[in-house]
Amino acid sequence: MVTMTTPKTTQEKPVELPVGFNAWLLDCAPVEGCTVCAANLRQLRAHREAGRITQAAKHATEIRDHASGAHEPR
C-alpha cells in the first residue's frame, strides 16, 4: 500500500523589503518637544537596528499620528 503523502517543500524565504519601502514605512516626522514622539522615535530606532522592521513601522505610525492630535496631553 502506498500512502499518498504530498511532499511539503519548506521554503523559508527571508522577508526582505526593498530599501525604498522601508524608508516609506519608517518615514515620520517626530515633533520636537513632544514626549510621545520622542519615546516612539527611540523605540523605532531600536527596532530598526535590531532588524524588526514591522515593529519599527508601528512606532513610525504612532509618530505620524501626532498630526491627528493623538499626542496632545489632556
User: Cα separations (Å) of 72 from 7, 11, 30, 55, 63?
Assistant: 55, 46, 13, 23, 12
Residue 37 as a binder of Zn ion (CB under 5 A): the answer is: yes
C-alpha closest to that of 25 among 51, 52, 48, 57: 57
Q: Min. distance of Cβ 15 from Zn ion in angstroms?
A: 29
Residue 59 as a binder of Zn ion (CB under 5 A): the answer is: no
Residue 70 as a binder of Zn ion (CB under 5 A): the answer is: no
Q: Kindly state the number of chain residues that form the binding site for Zn ion, as judged by CB under 5 A.
A: 6
| CB closer to Zn ion out of 13 and 74 | 74
